[in-house]
Amino acid sequence: MDNRPVLYYDSGIGGLYYGYCFSLKNPHEKTICLGDRANFPYGMKSKEELIELTISVTKKIIALFNPKIMALACNTASVSALNELREAYPDLPIVGTVPAIKPAAAASKKRCIGVLATKRTISDSYISELVKQYGPDCRTESIAAPELPEFLEHRWADAGKTEKYETAKYYIEKFRERGADTLVLACTHFPLMREEFEAAAGDEIKIFDSVEGIRTRIESLLDADNGRLRHDSNTVQKALMAVTGESDPEPYWKKITSRFGFELIKA
């Protein structure tokens, strides 16, 4: 048995929803999410910058929290730096975030997959490689939305239902015009608005994300070797949201973390 935490690392609040979904199914595991507030956003950084940054932040994560498993709950960082991160820390199981191209390709009847992501994710060859592997007959329509992570990071918790819906609808209409009938939310921030994306899409476009895929992958690692990495307590563990940065977190951070039942701490 191993009572160390499972840690979700993202550039901001995106990993919080992933960690929340994991903790709901695994309440006896200690779950920590880390938002790299000091270096947000990741989407406009170069591949080289992201490799250096994620290695540095992970070093801090290991020193502070000593996780037994770490999920790199950031599509941008995963497509840019996952291999280098695993090489730097071979003793730490690291689960990357893979855009949900496989199920989207399987579900697409028009053979046209929409991908909504950051500029860095879309520019990486990893997306096209996934399409070649799982949907070689599919056309891909990709849209970079650098302003959407900013909205979700700083305004989502205070925004009304109408604003959230209209924000999602704006992108849905772009993909509808391009003929996509499946849409991959290829940024971990975006599932926070999955409900709005689905409402705007109706029956014409099916929405996919990697939340459940990451959760089940982590669970498989915990259950391997007769549950060697599982927590030995039957007590529900308090989930934590840690944020980086020299200054104290803004009140907005407390609002959004408490919404998911996490305790906010400074990393």
218-247 pLDDT per residue, tens? 999 999 999 999 998 889 999 999 999 999
Spot the catalytic one: 21, 33, 74, 138. Answer: 74
Determine the 3-state secondary structure of 262 from DSSP. coil
74 in catalytic set? yes
138 in catalytic set? no
> At 140, is the pLDDT very low, low, confident or very high (cuts 50, 70, 90)?
very high
Residue 38 domain boundaries: 6-97+211-266
Q: Are residues 106 and 191 in the same domain?
A: yes
Contact by Cβ (8 Å): 178, 141: yes
> At 94, is the pLDDT very low, low, confident or very high (cuts 50, 70, 90)?
very high
Q: Are residues 195 and 112 in the same domain?
A: yes
Q: Are residues 81 and 108 in the same domain?
A: no
Determine the 3-state secondary structure of 232 from DSSP. coil
- Residue 198: closest CA among 209, 189, 187: 209
> At 251, is the pLDDT very low, low, confident or very high (cuts 50, 70, 90)?
confident
Contact by Cβ (8 Å): 34, 264: no
Segment (H or E) for 182: strand 182-185
pTM of the model: 0.93
pLDDT reported for residue 185:
97
pLDDT reported for residue 123:
87
Q: Are residues 109 and 194 in the same domain?
A: yes
pLDDT at 124 over 90: no
pLDDT at 25 over 90: yes
Percent of the chain with pLDDT strictly greater than 70: 100
Q: Are residues 39 and 79 in the same domain?
A: yes
Whether residue 161 lies inside any domain: the answer is yes
Last residue of a domain, one of 168, 188, 208: 208
Distances (CA, A) of 211 to 155, 166, 266: 22, 23, 25
How many structural domains compose the chain? 2
Query: Cα–Cα distance between 236 and 104 in angstroms, integer?
Result: 35
Q: Are residues 107 and 203 in the same domain?
A: yes
DSSP code of residue 125: T
Q: Are residues 61 and 24 in the same domain?
A: yes
SS3 of the chain: helix, strand, coil, percent, to 5: 50, 15, 35
Q: What angle, 0 to 180 degrees and rounded to 10, lies between the N-to-C axes of helices 147-154 and 161-177?
A: 160
CATH code of 48's domain: 3.40.50.1860
Percent of the chain with pLDDT strictly greater than 90: 88
Q: Are residues 150 and 221 in the same domain?
A: no
